[in-house]
Copies of this chain bind each other. A is one copy, B any other.
């Protein structure tokens, strides 16, 4: 999916919501536990219920890998289901991968060829050649960690370079622009750092940002839109636990749908406020 197509979806659905499929076998409703592949059944129902209100969907690999190869099978079934039933949904592998060049190539093969993801989250620590192999696929994306939503973000991401006064996350944003374009790169910027989005936008005005941390982690959607939205929206705001675990009963899917619709309604208003029409 390219940027035009993503922006079209945002305008059409009046949403820039990404549903995080952090599906933990230990947290899904009890009535599913006897069935074959409960993780996939859970995901399928969540996707059906939330698809009208979301433009993106983001399984986090950790949750699948904790079930071993069966978990990867649930993941592949989930991806195939989305690709078939909702081809307009932007599919993100939240994998935070990155390795030396010839190895990152294999990760790209895994997520873009073997599975049909549109995007993979990647870690910047190993630099250019760890990221570049992902950028050779047309209409595929990397989403590079810049400023994360967790407490540990403070450990290294705010180190200031004595040479040019740049913070590490700013350097990641600036230098990585030589590796790709706003057509194949996005950045992760946590909602818990909403006020920092202003600085982020000065460095990357045109790139899409994937923003986790709204909801359970405490970030505010309004603040994120205020500082982070650009003329093509430029935001994918993720919510995981607040949607997928909205209820632990048999009605979990309809509650998830309601939670997603509620966020969509707020997003509709925010898009309006920023002059992004239907």
A interface residue numbers (CB < 8 A to B): 22, 24, 60, 62-63, 65-73, 75-76, 94, 96-101, 103-104, 106-107, 109-111, 113-115, 123-131, 145, 148-157, 159-163, 165, 168, 171-172, 175, 217
Contacts and interface: CB of A to CB of B under 8 A. Distances in A.
B76 A68 contact: yes
A171 B157 CA distance: 12
B126 A145 contact: yes
Nearest to A163: B160
A152 B100 CA distance: 8
A263 B274 CA distance: 64
A172 B151 contact: no
Oligomer: number of copies: 2
Q: Which 8 pairs show the lowest CB-CB distances between chains A and B? A: A127-B152, A127-B155, A162-B162, A62-B106, A69-B72, A65-B110, A100-B150, A69-B73
Which one of A97, A100, A153, A161 has the highest number of Cβ atoms from chain B below 10 Å of its Cβ? A100
Contacts of A128: 151-152, 155
A147 to B, nearest CB: 10
A31 B142 CA distance: 37
A21 to B, nearest CB: 12
Contacts of A126: 96, 123, 145, 148, 150, 152-153
A161 B131 CA distance: 24
Contact of A125 (B99, B103, B145): B145
B161 A24 contact: no
Nearest to A131: B152
Given A123-B98, A156-B171, A106 B63 contact: yes
A156 to B, nearest CB: 6
Given A150-B101, A152-B128, A165-B162, A76 B66 contact: no
Contacts of A124: 125, 155-156
Nearest to A110: B65
A129 B151 contact: yes
A107 B97 CA distance: 13
B103 A60 contact: yes
A171 B160 CA distance: 12
A168 B162 contact: no
